[in-house]
Chains A and B, each alone.
Chain A
Amino acid sequence: MSQRTERRGIHVDQSDLLCKKGCGYYGNAAWQGLCSKCWREEYQRVRQKQIQDDWALAEKLQREEEAAYASSHGVQTQSHSQASTPQQQPGHASLGPFSKFEEKKTNEKTRKVTTVKKFFSPSSRTASKKEAQEGRTPSPSISRHASFESDQVSKDFVDFLKNLQKPGRDIHKQCRAFIVTMSGKKELSAEELSECVQDFYQNMADRLMSHFKGSSESVEQVMDQVEKYIMTRLYKSVFCPETTDDEKKDLATQNRIRALHWVTIQMLCVSMDEEIPEVSENVVKAITDVIEMDSKRVPRDKLACITRCSKHIFSAIRITKNEPASADDFLPALIYIVLKANPPRIQSNIQYITRFCNPSRLMTGEDGYYFTNLCCAVAFIEKLDAQSLNLSTEEFERYMSGQASPRYSSSEGDWPSSGSGPATATNPVLAQLNHNLELLSGLSDRQETLMEAAQSLQADLLSWPETVQREVHNILEKYPLEIVPCTVSAIDANNMDNENLPPPLTPQVFAG
C-alpha cells in the first residue's frame, strides 16, 4: 500500500534536519531551516528590536502577547524591506503589485490571527500555511504560537526519552522528522493524513517491538508518549481540517441536539433517577467530562474523557438500579448525556480520534468500547425519529416545532406528580429547589413549636412566684403564727429563801 511512499517520507537525511548555520542543533522548516537560536538572532537583526532572551516558562505567555502585538508592526517593516529589495524573489519581480496585494491580505490575516488565535485555531492554521507556502518568513509569534502547551509536551517527551538513552534519541529523531514531513503535506486530504500517521505508528511500533524484544508493555508505554508528542504538535493542522466537512457536520449536530431539547429521560427509557442526589451529581460530572473532551489535544486524552464520562454514567445507573449496568441501560443513558451536554465540535472530535488514535487502543480496549458507544449515541441522535422515542409522528412534529412541550402535557397524564409541581420530575434543579423549600418549611414549623414552648415557659415562669406566694399565704392562714405572751417573772421568783437573806443580798426585783 502506501508504505513505500511513507518510508520515503520518514527517511530524511540528517544533514537536512540540522540548522543551516551549522551550529549543530536541529533546524526547523518554519524558521527557514535554522534552529530556534539562530533564527532568533537572524530575526532580531532584521527587526532591530529586542526580544527578551528569557526562557523562563512563567514569562512565556506574557512574551507571546508582546510578540503578538509587535508582529502587527514587525511584519509591516518586513514587507517594506521585501518590497524595496525585489532581488530576493527574482522570479516574482514582475508580479510586484500583485504580490504586494497578497502580502497585505496576509498581513491582515496575521494580525487577526495573533490576536484571536486562541478562538479560531483553523483559520490561524491557514494563515501560517499560506506563509509557509509563499516561502516567507513568518513572524515569531506565528511560528511560536503552538506555544506553551507544545513546549511543555516537547520537554516532557525529551525527558521521557532520556531514560531510554540511545533508542530514545532515535525515536526523537524519527518523530521530529515525521512532524517536518507532515508540515510539508498540508495539501493532503484528511484520510491521507490519517494514513500517514497510522503508518508511522505501525512502523514505530515495529521498530520498538524489535528493540524491546517483544515486551509489548514497554512498547505501549513509548507509543503513548510518541502519540502524545506527535499529536500535540500536529493538532492544529489536522483537527477539523478544511479539506473535510467536519465543521459543517459539527454545526448540524449541534443544531440537531438543540432542536431535541425537549426529549425527556422517560422517553429514552433511561434507568437513572435524577431525584437521588448522588445520581444527579454523577450526571453532572458525566456531562462535564464529555464537554471537556474538546479541550484535549491528544487522542488518548480525549478517549480518557469519554471513559470518565461513561464511568460516571455507570455509577449513576448502579445507584439507581443497584445492579451492574448492561449495554441496554448504558446506551440510552449516554444518549441522554450527549443530548444534555451538546458537546462542542463532537463530530470533529470523533473523526479526529478515529483518524489519529493509535489503533491498538481504539479497537479492543475499554476506551474503544466507550468510544464506539459515543459514536452510536451520536448516530442515534442524528437519525432519531418519532418511532425511536415511542411517540406518534404528530406528537414528534409538534415537539420539534415547539408547539407543544412534553413536560407540561405529560405532567397531567403520566405523572400525578404527587402535588409537588409539574416540573419536579424532569428538572433536577427544580427538584432540588423543591426539596430545599420543604426543608425550609419544616424548619419554620419546628421554629414555631419552639416559640410556643418558649412562651409557655415564660408564662409558667411568670405564674410560678404567684403560686408560691399563694401557697405561702395559704399555709400562713392555715397555721397562723401565734405568739404566746410570755409572763414575765423575776428570775429568782421561786427562790423562797430570798426573804430570809440579809438585806444587801435580797434580790432586787425588776418588772419585765
Chain B
Amino acid sequence: MAAAAAAGGNSGGGKTYSFKVVLLGEGCVGKTSLVLRYCENKFNDKHITTLQASFLTKKLNITGKRVNLAIWDTAGQERFHALGPIYYRDSNGAILVYDITDEDSFQKVKNWVKELRKMLGNEICLCIVGNKIDLDKDRHVSVEEAESYAESVGAKHYHTSAKLNKGIEELFLDLCKRMMETAQAEERMKGNGSSQAASSRRGVQIVDDEPQATPAGGCCSSG
C-alpha cells in the first residue's frame, strides 16, 4: 500500500520504499516459476530452499533508494476469482501473467485488468506478462494483439520465460521504477502546502478512503 512508503519515509536522507505487488493470473501460467526465478534464480529445481513460493520479498537498490518488494502470489483457480479484491487491495503494483500458448489465460488477464481499474483506478501500476516464450512455436496469443491491448489500458507488456530466465529482471526493475514514480508524484501532491502532520497521516487517510473502507470492513462478510 502507499502508506508503506510513508511508513518507511524516514526524515533522514536514506528513504526506503515498501511496495506490495500482487501476482494475478490463471493457474498453470507460471506465476510461481516466475517469482521463484526472480527471487531464488531457480527453475523447477529440487534444491529450492524456500518452504513456500506464495509470499516472497526482495530488497533492491534503485538509484540510491532502497526498495523493499513484497510479492504476493494469489490462487489462480477460477473458483477463487471472487476473492481477488481481498488480495489486491492496498497494492502498488500488479503483475498479470498469461501463457502465450493459451488464449484463455489472456482473456482472464483482460478480466483482471478491467476489475483492477474499476476498483483501484490509476493508482496501481499494471504489468501484463506473456510467459513461456520458450514455447514460441505453440504461440496462440499474437505479440501485436497483446501489446496493443496493454497500451490501450495503460499497462506495460513484457515477454518472459522463467525456464530460460528471460525478461524477468527487466520486468521487476521497470515495475519498481514506475511504482517509485507514482509514490513520488503522490508525495509531491500531498506535500504541497500541507503540514508535516498531514503528510505523515497520508497513509492512514488512504487506507480509510471511502470506496476502499467498505470492502475492507466487510471483507469477510460480503467479499
Query: Does A27 make an interface contact (CB < 8 A)?
Result: no
Query: Does A359 make an interface contact (CB < 8 A)?
Result: yes
Contact status B75-A332, CB under 8 Å:
yes
A324 to B207, CA, bound (A): 32
Chain B residues near A210 (CB, 8 Å)? 11
Chain A residues near B20 (CB, 8 Å)? 363-364
Contact status B74-A327, CB under 8 Å:
yes
Please choose the segment from B78-86, B97-105, B107-115 that sits at the chain A interface, where 4 or more of its residues have CB less than 8 A away: B78-86
Count class of interface residues, chain A: 35 or more
A317 smallest CB distance to B (angstroms): 8
Query: Does A315 make an interface contact (CB < 8 A)?
Result: yes
A112 smallest CB distance to B (angstroms): 31
Given contacts A328-B27, A350-B220, A364-B1, A376 and B90 within 8 Å (CB-CB)? no
Please choose the segment from B46-54, B125-133, B162-170, B173-181 that sits at the chain A interface, where 4 or more of its residues have CB less than 8 A away: B46-54
Query: Does A296 make an interface contact (CB < 8 A)?
Result: no
A497 to B201, CA, bound (A): 151
A375 to B53, CA, bound (A): 19
Contact status A369-B55, CB under 8 Å:
yes
Which residue of chain A has its CB nearest to the CB of B11?
A: A214
B7-50, CB under 8 A of A: which get 1 and which 0? 11011100010101001000100011000100000000010101
Looking at A317, A354, A363, the one whose CB has the most chain B CB atoms below 10 A away is: A363
A351 to B12, CA, bound (A): 35
Please choose the segment from A88-96, A198-206, A418-426 that sits at the chain B interface, where 4 or more of its residues have CB less than 8 A away: A198-206
Chain B residues near A1 (CB, 8 Å)? 201, 204-205, 208
B42 smallest CB distance to A (angstroms): 10
Query: Does A139 make an interface contact (CB < 8 A)?
Result: no
A383 to B74, CA, bound (A): 18
Contact status B220-A387, CB under 8 Å:
no
24 contacts between A and B (CB under 8 A): A1-B204, A199-B204, A206-B200, A216-B10, A249-B220, A317-B52, A322-B46, A324-B50, A324-B51, A324-B53, A325-B52, A326-B54, A327-B23, A330-B75, A331-B80, A354-B219, A359-B204, A359-B207, A363-B3, A363-B20, A363-B90, A376-B86, A379-B223, A380-B80
Chain A residues near B57 (CB, 8 Å)? 366
Query: Does A452 make an interface contact (CB < 8 A)?
Result: no
B119 smallest CB distance to A (angstroms): 15
Chain B residues near A206 (CB, 8 Å)? 197, 200
Which residue of chain B has its CB nearest to the CB of A355?
A: B217
Contact status B36-A324, CB under 8 Å:
yes
Looking at A359, A360, A369, the one whose CB has the most chain B CB atoms below 10 A away is: A369
A315 to B90, CA, bound (A): 29
Query: Does B149 make an interface contact (CB < 8 A)?
Result: no
Looking at B68, B203, B223, the one whose CB has the most chain A CB atoms below 10 A away is: B223
Contact status A326-B4, CB under 8 Å:
no
Query: Does B63 make an interface contact (CB < 8 A)?
Result: no
A369 to B216, CA, bound (A): 15
Chain B residues near A347 (CB, 8 Å)? 220-221
Chain A residues near B204 (CB, 8 Å)? 1, 198-199, 202, 359
B130 smallest CB distance to A (angstroms): 19
A68-106, CB under 8 A of B: which get 1 and which 0? 000000000000000000000000000000000000000
A354 to B72, CA, bound (A): 19
Contact status B86-A372, CB under 8 Å:
yes
Q: How many residues of B contact A (CB 8 A)?
A: 54
Chain B residues near A388 (CB, 8 Å)? 79
Contact status B12-A213, CB under 8 Å:
yes
A328 to B221, CA, bound (A): 23
Contact status A383-B75, CB under 8 Å:
no
A325 to B12, CA, bound (A): 39
B18 smallest CB distance to A (angstroms): 5
A353 to B52, CA, bound (A): 24
Chain B residues near A125 (CB, 8 Å)? none
Contact status A318-B51, CB under 8 Å:
yes
Which residue of chain B has its CB nearest to the CB of A369?
A: B55
Q: Pick the contact of B10 from A214, A322, A327, A354 — CB < 8 Å?
A: A214
Query: Does A311 make an interface contact (CB < 8 A)?
Result: yes
Query: Does A235 make an interface contact (CB < 8 A)?
Result: no
A152-177, CB under 8 A of B: which get 1 and which 0? 00000000000000000000000000
A368-382, CB under 8 A of B: which get 1 and which 0? 011010011011101
Given contacts A198-B204, A314-B52, A364-B4, A327 and B75 within 8 Å (CB-CB)? yes
Contact status A379-B83, CB under 8 Å:
yes
A437 to B1, CA, bound (A): 55
A379 to B87, CA, bound (A): 12
Query: Does B77 make an interface contact (CB < 8 A)?
Result: yes
A380 to B31, CA, bound (A): 22
A206 to B7, CA, bound (A): 9
A323 to B51, CA, bound (A): 8
Given contacts A213-B12, A324-B52, A325-B52, A376 and B87 within 8 Å (CB-CB)? yes
A318-356, CB under 8 A of B: which get 1 and which 0? 100011111110111000000000000001001100100
Query: Does B120 make an interface contact (CB < 8 A)?
Result: no
A150 smallest CB distance to B (angstroms): 27
Contact status B201-A3, CB under 8 Å:
yes
Which residue of chain A has its CB nearest to the CB of B84?
A: A376
B204 smallest CB distance to A (angstroms): 6
Query: Does A365 make an interface contact (CB < 8 A)?
Result: yes
A314 to B200, CA, bound (A): 37
B4 smallest CB distance to A (angstroms): 5
Contact status B52-A330, CB under 8 Å:
yes
A325 to B54, CA, bound (A): 7
Query: Does A191 make an interface contact (CB < 8 A)?
Result: yes
